[in-house]
Amino acid sequence: MKAAFILPVDYRVHNFIRKLEHSIDQRYGTHFLSTWVPPHISLKLSFRIPSLVEVEEYFDRLAAGIQPIRITLDRLELSTWFDGDEDQGVLWLAVRENRRLRDLHLRINRELAARFENTRARYDGPDFRFHASVAIGGAPLDLYRRIYADYRDTEVALTYTASCISLVYLDESSDPSEGCIFKTLCLGTKT
């Protein structure tokens, strides 16, 4: 079992990302629209969990202690990640660096490491790049480079207030892309 924490985006950011995915799909036939979790800001990448109940208890306390966070997405970026066989493309909307978001990410990693074993994901930590993914893998890296060359000047000037946090659950016995949003809570409220 694995879990991750995300900040759902508002309807304007959601619609912007889906329209961009659709435009890319229409132009390149990529089928990027088939993402399994709605558009979001990654807050804590997936990590192995001993028990969903234990992680949910932590998640509930975490959500109650966080106030809503203002987030600005300001540009389209292309990044890569290594999946064990080859480099894969990741097209995302970059989040402007934000001290509250950075501190929260580091706090979550610290607190999870104190409670559970092996919670660090490969890209977590002080160099983690906050983003809202548009497309991950599923196409050759060269195609990602062509897509980025065609779309890099897309105007991105989106700001919203993240008022909820979601716990994503991934069952490793099935397809790794088949996760679900297990729970969503409003920030700063008790469950």
Contact indicator for 81, 88 with CB cutoff of 8 Å: yes
Other CB atoms closer than 10 Å to residue 168's CB: what's the count?
22
CA 68 to chain centre: 17
Residue 50, token pair as written in the block: 């001993």
Range of the domain at 17: 2-186
pLDDT digits (tens, 9 = 90+) for 133-147: 998 878 889 999 999
Average pLDDT for 138-161: 95
In a domain, 191, yes or no: no
The total number of structural domains that make up the chain:
1
pLDDT digits (tens, 9 = 90+) for 11-57: 999 999 999 999 999 999 887 755 667 899 999 998 989 889 999 99
Whole-model pTM? 0.91
User: What gap in Å lies between CA 150 and CA 148, rounded to an integer?
Assistant: 5
Q: Report the CATH number that the domain containing residue 71 is assigned in CATH.
A: 3.90.1140.10
Starting at the edge strand that comes first in sequence, how are the strands of the sheet with 158-162 ordered?
Answer: 131-136, 87-95, 69-82, 158-162
